[in-house]
Structure 1
Amino acid sequence: MDKGWATNFVSAGLVGASYSIDGIASEVLRSAGLFALSGAVTNQLAIHMLFEKVPYLYGSGIIIDRFESIREALKTLIMEQFFTPEKIESFVQSQERTIDLTPIIEQTDFTPAYNALVRSVMDSPLGGMLGMFGGEAIIGKLKEPFLEKIKLSTIEISQSESFMSALNTHLHQGSSHLTETIESIVVSRLAELTPIMIKEMLHTLMKEHLGWLVVWGGVFGGMIGIVSVFLL
């Protein structure tokens, strides 16, 4: 059973039980039960009004009524807390020294570069002379050593100070564009949300904790009820 309704039943049970006994105990039990039931029901109604529109009750259904404001607040929260230009810049700086293109270069097929080299050689005056000695077949023996050398050279270039400096400069220049891109993605995704989706999302997130509001409303209401018996 839902903890909120369980609190209501326990509170009502205390009121019912108070009529089976006499004296001050009856008054304490009845007052505690009534105040507890009042607190629990009031909190339960307030929670219901938060998500659902109740006729003639002004302010109910605020999540649906304030849907646009909530959606804008979500966008502001995401952009200001997670994707500020400063935080993106800080992330880029933290990644500067960890960029390693070696794995990518190792898996890259440099055969097109070799083929372009062969075409250049064969189209040059040297190509005619090589044709007398077997043409491309002679150059073909150099393919594997060439591919290995060009990979090593490319890795060396990617690790050079000048290359890393140029790459990091480009990343810094692109951080502002990255912020704009992220914001456009957030805005487009939030635009897909409907009032019902927002309501269900918030209700799912808060359901467990909202139930405890009813329980504590009953507990504190009961305590106030007991105190009131001795004060009046």
Structure 2
Amino acid sequence: MNKSLITNALAFILTLLGYTLAQPILFTIGLFALSGAITNWLAVHMLFEKVPLLYGSGVIPARFEDFKLGIRQLMMEQFFTQENIDRFLSDSSGKASSIDLTPIIDKVDLSPAFDNLVSVIEGSSFGPMLAMVGGTEAIEPMREPFIEKMRTSVQDITSSEQFSALLREELEQPDIIAGMQEKVSDIIEKRLNELTPKLVKEIIQAMIKKHLGWLVVWGGVFGGVIGLIAGLLNQ
């Protein structure tokens, strides 16, 4: 169910009814609700898509290099530390298919990944518009869904046969611990270099756009309340 479409449609119907029935209060409620819902819908849309003549739109794909850097830092500073590599070498059974980093991934705090996303948005030209729709508090409810999606994505990457085979191949080389971090960093770097702005946009969009739909709903609700107050004051 598309919450944004339903909210805009209901607001438009209220506006139309108020105008047709010559009911000023109903018309004002619908008009304010429609303006609030459309404004928030446009704000959400501008996160992911470039809108002509609107500076700051398309911030997610435009800042995809920052996301790539954040993912790389997360992988190297949280997953592939010397301690984790040493633990992995001690427990591995020698088969590429047996490599399982899920226990480590489950223990890692992925909140910094969400905080990095919020910081990128705040530091961009989209920051002032985000403040107009409630600021960072408005997207705080997305923290847990984002973390779960990110955790699942990382688990999928590290459990793939290609990743396991490459990692096992590197484990068979001399000076394993000393060179492991650098080699894994190269693997991650090569994989991240395959990402495109479009792919990054789709990844982030799939994680959070569904939850941002509530911004449109509440924009319509609060717009309608303001319209009711304005209508009553004008009587």
- Normalising by structure 2, we get a TM-score of 0.56
Q: Which of 1 and 2 has greater Rg?
A: 1
The aligned runs of 1:135-214 (5 Å cut-off) are 174-214=176-216
Shift of 1:85: 3.2
The aligned runs of 1:42-57 (5 Å cut-off) are 42-57=39-54
Shift of 1:100: 7.6
Shift of 1:21: 4.9
Partner amino acid, structure 2, of 1:179: Q
2:63 counterpart of 1:61: no
The aligned runs of 1:64-103 (5 Å cut-off) are 64-89=61-86, 91-92=87-88, 96=90
Relative to 1, partners in 2 of residues 1:224 and 1:88: Cα closer, same or farther, differing over 3 Å? farther
Partner amino acid, structure 2, of 1:204: A
Separation (CA, whole Å) in 2 of partners of 1:71 and 1:211: 26
Residue correspondences, number = 156
Separation (CA, whole Å) in 2 of partners of 1:2 and 1:31: 24
Partner of 1:13: 13
Separation (CA, whole Å) in 2 of partners of 1:45 and 1:35: 15
Relative to 1, partners in 2 of residues 1:176 and 1:46: Cα closer, same or farther, differing over 3 Å? farther
Partner of 1:114: none
SS of residue matched to 1:19: helix
SS of residue matched to 1:182: helix
Partner of 1:218: 220
Shift of 1:197: 1.2
Show CA shifts across 1:158-190 (max 9, x none).
Answer: xxxxxxxxxxxxxxx734433223222111110
- Normalising by structure 1, we get a TM-score of 0.56
Show CA shifts across 1:25-60 (max 9, x none).
Answer: x44422322221111111111122222212211111
* Ranges in structure 2 where 5+ consecutive residues have no aligned partner: 95-174
Relative to 1, partners in 2 of residues 1:219 and 1:175: Cα closer, same or farther, differing over 3 Å? farther
RMSD: 3.0
Show CA shifts across 1:112-162 (max 9, x none).
Answer: xxxxxxxxxxxxxxxxxxxxxxxxxxxxxxxxxxxxxxxxxxxxxxxxxxx
Shift of 1:210: 2.6
Relative to 1, partners in 2 of residues 1:88 and 1:31: Cα closer, same or farther, differing over 3 Å? farther
Relative to 1, partners in 2 of residues 1:87 and 1:55: Cα closer, same or farther, differing over 3 Å? same
